[in-house]
Amino acid sequence: MSLHKNRLFISFSTRIISLMSLLGCDVSETRTSYSSSTSNIWGIDISHHQGHINWKHIENRPPHFIFMKATEGATHKDSRYKSYRKEAQKLGISTGAYHFFSYTSDGEQQARHFLKYANLRKDDLLPVLDCEYQKKMPQKTKVTNELVKFIRAVEKDLGVKPIIYCEEGYYKRYLKQDLGNRYPLWICDFRKQPQCEFTFWQKTDRFRHPAFRGTIDYNQFYGNLAELSKYTIK
């Protein structure tokens, strides 16, 4: 396609999308073509919700990294964490574990539960604390105190700073005052590039990969493969 034709196509497409938006149509994308070049280090995050995964398709089109849900709260264990981890590591894919934080139990207790079940080892990606808004949030000070207790417990046990997954506004409200910019951030924003300093960006939950039924989360690492290795347990 020539440059002139390409510009005409982009202009026409933009007008169509604008018209669809005015008519109230859903113009959100289901991504299928994110690059996996060395200048775009990408990965996915998964849990038992993904169900069966065709690992042969993962081998044919491998992400650079996979984060897997290990635990939630103080007692829940993800039923597919161990099997997913084993299959991904067979393919030489960098893997990491995340904990979904609950506001109904003690932060340190949640950290102990996560550390025991995740069983993170040398060369695994740094542990991840997944903290998200809920409909009824506890008092701000309680949220911050429990999150910090979790973070400190993980840091003390593994000797590394965990990655914090959240929305940009969440970090600013609950954690920035206490943590500053000392921890790697994995920011979720499906509309635009985050305006804060971040290491990982969850860009969409509508990514399609042949290994999965339906769509999954797509994440981009801001750096190259050598830099990704800096975010592993030594």
Query: Are 54 and 14 within one domain?
Result: no
Query: Are 5 and 93 within one domain?
Result: no
- The CATH number for 101's domain is 3.20.20.80
**Residue-wise pLDDT tens digits, 132-144:** 999 999 999 999 9
SS3 category, 150: helix
Name the domain count of the chain: 2
Query: Are 62 and 2 within one domain?
Result: no
Report how far Cα 66 is from the mean position of its chain's Cα atoms.
9
| Bridge partners (DSSP) listed for residue 96 | 67
Query: Are 97 and 17 within one domain?
Result: no
Query: Are 55 and 90 within one domain?
Result: yes
Q: Are the CB atoms for 184 and 96 separated by under 8 Å? A: no
Query: Are 75 and 190 within one domain?
Result: yes
**Residue-wise pLDDT tens digits, 71-110:** 999 999 999 999 999 999 999 999 999 999 999 999 999 9
With a cut of 70, say whether residue 27 has pLDDT above it.
no
Share of residues in the chain with pLDDT > 90 (%): 83
Rg (CA), the chain: 19
**Residue-wise pLDDT tens digits, 161-203:** 999 999 999 999 999 999 999 999 999 999 999 999 999 999 9
Query: Are 127 and 20 within one domain?
Result: no
Query: Are 143 and 73 within one domain?
Result: yes
Q: Name which of 160, 157, 194 is nearest 176 in CA terms.
A: 194
Query: Are 218 and 117 within one domain?
Result: yes
Query: Are 104 and 11 within one domain?
Result: no
Query: Are 166 and 206 within one domain?
Result: yes
Mean pLDDT along residues 101-130: 98
Non-local (6+) Cβ contacts of 16 within 8 A are: none
User: How, if at all, do strands 94-100 and 65-72 pair?
Assistant: parallel
Query: Are 24 and 106 within one domain?
Result: no
- 174 phi and psi angles, rounded to 5 deg: -105, -25
- Rounded CA-CA distance 156/151 in Å is 9
User: What range does the domain containing 199 cover?
Assistant: 34-231
- Rounded CA-CA distance 111/121 in Å is 16
Total-model pTM:
0.84
Mean pLDDT along residues 134-156: 97
